[in-house]
Amino acid sequence: MQFTKVAAATFFFFSSIYAAPLQTRASCIETCGSTCYWQSDIDAALNQGYSLLQSGETDNNYPHQYRDDEGFDFPVSGPYYEYPILSSYKVYTGGSPGADRVIFNSDGDFAGLITHTGSSNYDGFVQCNAA
Ligand code: 3AM
């Protein structure tokens, strides 16, 4: 009896530790490469990029205009701007931009997520996918 209780407690302890990373990303909505982002990650990246755009500032040259040479069909009109969204889920404030970008327009409307990961050209982009 005592052994069963200890075994059960041990099981629940380890299952809670190992399940935690899965649970914390369970609300992700869009996948770029192998990274799935929450709505809150996207909002945070967009807000940072748009606030820099409004103040005319940049971090490591971001945000900058995205010309949409790929011809993606975004639901809002341009001109478009790109800002890094990081696979660490931290807000970008300079340094390596990684491969993933949030695209927004001059009104700060969300246009989409795109990524260099999976593009046939090194500098090219593909659209991220619904989770
Ligand atoms: O700012 P963007 O992403 O439009 O061309 C890419 C990038 O332009 C390339 O370097 C430019 C300036 O940062 N680049 C940067 N990170 C990259 C990555 N992870 C990348 N190209 C491919 N993969």
Q: Where exactly are the structural domains of the chain?
A: 28-130
123 lines ligand 1 (CB under 6 A): yes
Amino acid at residue number 118: G
User: In a 3-state reduction of DSSP, which class is residue 85?
Assistant: coil
Cα first-last separation, the chain: 44
Q: Name the residue with the closest Cα to ligand 1, atom 21.
A: 123
Task: Calculate the CA 5 to chain-centre distance.
Answer: 42
pTM metric for this prediction? 0.82
Return mean pLDDT, the chain.
89
- What CATH class does 28-130 carry? alpha beta
Say whether 57 is catalytic: no
pLDDT single digits (tens) 68-103: 999 999 999 999 999 999 999 999 999 999 999 999
Mutate-to-test residue for ligand 1 from 34, 80, 123, 125, highest number of ligand atoms within 8 A of CB: 123
**CA atoms in the 13 A half-sphere facing the CB of 45:** 30
DSSP category for residue 92: P
